[in-house]
């Protein structure tokens, strides 16, 4: 089980074959925590994780818990001339993991080299279409970082400083789109 998501999140738009769930859970365990650390930084992630109860931040568990609840959930926020939109951390992580997992399983290393993984009755998926999932996740990722840094930094103080050290991620492009 991941920090915030499990294979059960992969339904509908993010559907993954149920036969792949054991591999997907292992993939989530290997990648989800690093995505959250990249989002916030190590110190803030540890503080965030201390507010979790059943993978959901709980208000009142520490002074920053309201801020964590705010970024965990979807939000719209005005800042400057922009409107920042986040679909919430669960959907952001689901989209990131879906992109990364599908990209990994799309290609298979064989003794003849790397091949596109497909069944006889399946059709090849254009890898460029996967980037829509990455880019949707980036929208929420950037909105959450902006919320922490500029929109409401007062909600994320440990002592007198905001321990934010999130790493930048950029939109992806593909020539195959």
Q: Report which secondary-structure segment, H or E, holds 83.
A: strand 82-86
pLDDT of 137-161, one tens digit each? Answer: 999 999 999 999 999 999 998 766 7
Q: What is the pLDDT of residues 59-98, one digit of tens each?
A: 987 889 999 999 999 999 999 999 999 999 999 999 999 9
Give bridge partners of residue 107 from the DSSP assignment: 116
For position 27, what pLDDT does the model report? 95
Smallest CA-to-CA distance from 35 within 144, 155, 157 is with 144
Residue 175 belongs to a domain = no
- Number of independent structural domains in the chain: 1
The single residue listed with the structure tokens 């964590």 is 68
174 located within any domain: no
Residue 128, φ and ψ in degrees, nearest 5? -65, -30
Indicate whether 2 belongs to any domain. Answer: no
The pLDDT of residue 14 is 93
> Which pLDDT tens digit goes with each residue over 116-132?
665 544 445 555 578 99
What pLDDT, on the 0 to 100 scale, is given for residue 119? 54
Q: Evaluate if residue 114 carries a pLDDT over 80.
A: no
| Residue 176 forms part of a structural domain | no
User: Is residue 161 in a domain?
Assistant: no
Q: What is the pTM (predicted TM-score) of this model?
A: 0.87
Q: In this structure, is residue 143 part of a structural domain?
A: yes
Nearest Cα neighbor of 130 from 154, 106, 153, 148 is 106
What are the two backbone dihedrals, phi and then psi, of residue 59, each rounded to the nearest 5 degrees? -65, 135
150 in any annotated domain: yes
Which class for 110: exposed (0-12), middle (13-18), buried (19 or more C-beta within 10 A)? Answer: exposed
Whether residue 96 is contained in a domain is answered as: yes
165 to each of 28, 40, 128, 135, how far by Cα in Å?
A: 22, 6, 31, 21
List, for residues 162-177, the tens digit of each pLDDT value: 789 999 999 988 655 4
Which domain does 134 fall in, by range? Answer: 7-156
């Amino acid at each position: 089980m991941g920090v915030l998501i499990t294979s059960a999140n992969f339904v509908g738009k993010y559907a993954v074959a149920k036969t792949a769930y054991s591999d997907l859970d292992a993939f989530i365990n290997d990648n989800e925590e690093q995505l959250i650390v990249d989002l916030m930084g190590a110190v803030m992630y540890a503080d965030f994780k201390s507010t979790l109860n059943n993978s959901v931040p709980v208000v009142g568990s520490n002074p920053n818990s309201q801020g964590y609840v705010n970024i965990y959930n979807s939000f719209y926020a005005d800042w400057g001339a922009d409107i920042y939109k986040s679909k919430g951390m669960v959907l952001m992580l689901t989209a990131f993991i879906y992109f990364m997992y599908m990209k990994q399983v799309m290609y298979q290393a064989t003794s003849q080299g790397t091949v596109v993984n497909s069944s006889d009755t399946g059709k090849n998926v254009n890898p460029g279409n996967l980037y829509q999932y990455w880019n949707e996740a980036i929208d929420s990722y950037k909105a959450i970082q902006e919320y922490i840094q500029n929109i409401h930094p007062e909600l994320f103080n440990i002592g007198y400083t905001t321990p934010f050290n999130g790493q930048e991620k950029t939109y992806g492009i593909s020539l195959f789109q």
